[in-house]
Structure 1
């Protein structure tokens, strides 16, 4: 048992570091390429790409239920080494995703014909049609070749292989895109070459899994192993609403230039969210193995520790983001005057909404790891309804601020509901502990914002001063949060700091 735990912790550390590196690379590359697109092709072109991408991602709702059910179905066989059952799960899910890829191809073709007719873009009809086809290529290849292999390695805590492939493709895409834009190529050509680079990842991943795992292709498919796919669809819908619906609402109710404003802010916030998740690690798979092996002592020891870690990481990163996001966006979009990117209230609400989401990762991961998908689908459905209805109503009154506010309220509901369910049916974590942890970290974040907010706005005049102050603010928020948590949760805070340091040491 000790050896199992050591190997599990080592894998978690490697996944965390690989994921963190990938998020840093994605953040840097993702700032460079969109900035070049904005300055070269304009906000309308940037907003059109974001809008089309979200329409294509709607299809994730169809596959999302199977994705969640497949991931959960892999936990038991992988934990016990039952490769025959794992092969059944793999073959059954692969059959679904092959059919889905064919359907997705048809959807992208229809979208390519319809989208330019109903949405005003800066492109001609043919160019807009081809742009939709190009942006849909990666999703088609991902479904055809990559998803079952990715989920198998995720359950086996070997997601780092997929992560390193993502790093390679992200760097390659940024390098080639910059060269093509500087050479004066069209946006269509830039996105086509990027699609060619990104389709390499699912193909390589598929080959790797077939060579390194004893997948028995002679087994019969068994749809019962994915019996929770309909319930998982509810969680997929909620996640889609969380990550994608805002763009669609803004496209429908405002225009693609406001989509560009949203996407610039959203990119920063989602990058911070990914950084938090990367450092926290693949806790869903970790909890899944603990539950599959009925390791109650490990659950009682580790789950509260990871809960505190999620709060501390979220507080440090997101309150730093709240302080710095508006001056950063002002610098990043400097010289672009076709629409006003200065939206401080919207930026703050968007950051805080994602903060609420990240602080609740432990509860959602415990629910998924325990396989309680069907039992909690009502939470996901209600969250999605709240998000969509409030966003549609409020965007008419207060623009993109209403979209962010609707998202914040929906996330708050989801967090409270997940806490109540987890306590009642999976792991009875102390409610007093949870409330106390939230309050301590919120107080730390608010104190840091009051201390640094006005100072930063007055002293940032360029990117050099921005990065200097970013380092100062990050260190200051980190110090305040660690000190306050150490005062209230001395032993637990020491465990969190030790766990984070060990991850990077390994």
Structure 2
């Protein structure tokens, strides 16, 4: 089970993840629009709200997932079958207990939600939809997570990515057929359940065939106790993904939740593309840390940070100008909610940009298994996000929850930069501040230049694509000039990577 020595493994993992995310994005745009158009904004808001409430139980994991992946790097690198088996046995037993508790939680949500949340649907309608979504969550989370953690730690991200892509394509096809023949949200979500069952069967067969796991090994209780070290990280990530919709469900309406979900869908699609790069790089960074390659790690991080900053600013500054015109086209003909929210669109784009900028720091911290030491930053982000969102939502609505998110993410990003300097890479803080500051100036120039013509976009996809190409080219010029003047060496390295991969 020793990690394969392959100079192209990062590239393979990244490409596989990108393919998955492209398919995910396509499905993410097709399915919600068909639901909104065929079933209405309130149905869309209902199932999204229910999913968030069910997702709250994932906190019961206590951050174990990240701890497990970090703990697997070294035994996989050393080929220690006994240690790997002990970890898998420990996690399997733990998740079995959690799974039983989830069933109870799912039933409680199914019983209470129709009574506590204002909606126009029957009790039976909401109850049965909750059960279906709960089964979906159960299979996806507790049944497949163990195999994904093992494969990702073993630098086989491409395996899980290709399996997910295949099953997602099946789900999209089934969804489109169902929405045309019998548009009913319960049937649609049952199709998702079947797709996840297929995915589970494939992953389980692959692991059984390619790994030797001794299930007679005793559990490592120390590993379970370490999950609290990652609890803060998981809590912050969970709150980042779920708090806004839950707060809006309480303080607003399901139609507003639907509006939020459309913008969130777009920026999350972009973030998932950025995350594809991270998922391909993380296992290799973990291997370098396990091997004690500090100097190599620092050099790799400097290049990684520059490349990520360049990509993040280019993509998100372009998105900040194109997101509202896209939503206008995407929701054309929908009249049961106001989907045109320019201020909210800009702030939520900014928040996701800062989240993606933080990825390089998070990658190294998690790969080094520094969960406990950095958990205080995660808890701080979570508390700030919740408090600000609750305070501002009643006065500012969508904009209020977005402000809470962007402020909390920004504070934790700075804390991560500080921690890396002091404890892992010893990189000077001012170097990162300078990098982000210069690209922020580029963002402002890009935004102002694009704003002058972006309002001319007609309500059709062809016009939008044309302006998207123009806006992207302008961004490429601006950020490349900044890089050439201030980061010529890093830009040259970036160019060499692209050139070598194109051969």
Calculate the TM-score normalised by the size of structure 2. 0.97
Q: Is the 8 A contact 1:70 1:226 kept in 2?
A: no
The answer to whether residue 216 in structure 2 is matched with residue 246 in structure 1 is no
Q: Residue 61 of structure 1: CA displacement?
A: 1.1
- Listed as ranges, the matches of 1:288-303 within 5 Å are 288-303=286-301
Distance in 1, matches of 2:120 and 2:167, equals 28
Deviates more, 1:194-203 or 1:416-425: 194-203
| 2:69 paired residue number | 71
Match of 1:228 among 226, 241, 244: 226
Distance 1:454 1:139, change over 3 A: same
| 1:211 paired residue number | 209
| 1:190 paired residue number | 188
| 2:92 paired residue number | 94
- Listed as ranges, the matches of 1:59-458 within 5 Å are 59-458=57-456
The answer to whether residue 454 in structure 2 is matched with residue 476 in structure 1 is no
Q: Residue 29 of structure 1: CA displacement?
A: 1.3
Q: Residue 403 of structure 1: CA displacement?
A: 0.4
Q: Is the 8 A contact 1:13 1:504 kept in 2?
A: no
Distance 1:298 1:464, change over 3 A: same
Distance in 2, matches of 1:141 and 1:25, equals 21
Q: Residue 280 of structure 1: CA displacement?
A: 4.3
Q: Is the 8 A contact 2:232 2:376 kept in 1?
A: yes
SS of the aligned residue for 1:339 comes to: coil
SS of the aligned residue for 1:160 comes to: helix
C-alpha distance after superposition, 1:209-245 (max 9, x if no partner): 1220111112111111344201201110000011111
Aligned length: 502
C-alpha distance after superposition, 1:239-291 (max 9, x if no partner): 00111111101001111111001000000001000111213443332221111
SS of the aligned residue for 1:59 comes to: helix
| 1:461 paired residue number | 459
Q: Which runs of 5+ in 2 are unaligned?
A: none
Distance 1:283 1:91, change over 3 A: same
Calculate the TM-score normalised by the size of structure 1. 0.96
